[in-house]
Chains A and B, each alone.
Chain A
Amino acid sequence: MCQDCGCGDPEIVPVEVQHKILEKNDRTAQHNRDHFVGDAILCVNLMGSPGAGKTAVLEATARAAGNPRKFAALPGDLATDNDAERLRAAGIRSRGITTGQACHLDAELVHRAVHHFDLADVEYLFVENVGNLVCPAVYDVGQSANVVALSVTEGEDKPLKYPTMFQNADLVLITKVDLLPFLPHVRLSAIRDSLARVMPDPRVIAMSAFSGVGIDEWLRWLDQRRTRILTDRALVGVHHG
């Protein structure tokens, strides 16, 4: 009730806040991250367009690493379990997340999937996000690293068209470089230039899941990132049951 004049009108009270709208997702993501780091698992959010070669990169990773038991994957798609089946055939423990109509994975979907997933002895968990260069960039799923797969067939200026996807990437895998001889108008230097205009400190590996180029460098990068979380974990004394 208006206290000033007794007119009987309701009073409008403004409340100023500083709330992240995705705070609930961020909290669940942090919960996921605490579990992964506590279990010495590097969780990678692997994003990219449909057909960028995300699943092929993981298959090649398993082939090159020798011991696919240390890898696990949660491939997300709107429909089918095809990617999970491909990854299982490559020896990677895998559980597909089918989203129905949703264009991205969020922390809750990953949390639910992990609850029914044996991660014993796993060192690297790949959340293979729904193929999409927009929505997955908005949602933290509990990863310790963001990796974007960008295939050479997508064009040199893709990063300029979808800056949000790339600005928070820790690494960009330029995939399908074995196709470059057939793409006379695509220059790796131009892709790198586009990335430098949307990423402050771009890390890039040019690779081919087909020929194996770049896979060793990618394995070294993964190893360094996992070593980093183990070091951080030791420093803060995190132990998980």
Chain B
Amino acid sequence: MHEYSIVQSLVDSVAGVVAENGGGTVHHVSIEIGELSGVDTDLLQTAYDTFREGTLCERAPLTIKRTPARWECRKCAASIARGAILRCPVCDSPARMVSGDEIMLRRVELEVA
């Protein structure tokens, strides 16, 4: 259960964005979590709602965009289905992950007086 430590890192990242933008109250936070990133989005939401208290994210709801995993051939870009052997059926090259491993902060809405 590493979602609590992810929340700690998320709050630190948001603090960095606030500082870079000259301050303000955090109003909303949006992140992107890939399906194969190793982060459980339900647990992360619970951890965030528990641990945002007393931090600069206290009044900011969290929106999590979950990105599905996609694989394609690294040579000919043919799409390779989840659960299939991760080699291209056309040219036999190994697949590469196109999306699905993201653990990204995407948007912070700041309330500026």
Interface residue ranges, A against B (CB under 8 Å):
1, 10-25, 102-104, 106, 134-135, 137-139, 160, 163-165, 167, 193, 196-201
Contact = CB atoms under 8 A, between A and B. Distances in A.
A163 B9 contact: no
Interface of B: 1-2, 5-6, 9-10, 12-13, 16-17, 21, 24-25, 27, 31, 36-39, 71, 74, 83-87, 94-97, 101, 103-113
9 contacts: A10-B25, A13-B21, A13-B111, A19-B13, A20-B105, A106-B5, A134-B38, A167-B101, A196-B85
* SS class, residues of chain B in contact with chain A: mixed
Contacts of B113: 1, 10
Given A103-B2, A106-B5, A135-B2, A22 B103 contact: yes
A21 B111 contact: no
Nearest to B12: A24
A138 B21 contact: no
A15 B103 CA distance: 18
A24 B113 CA distance: 30
Q: Which of A24, A200, A201 has the most CB of B within 10 A?
A: A200
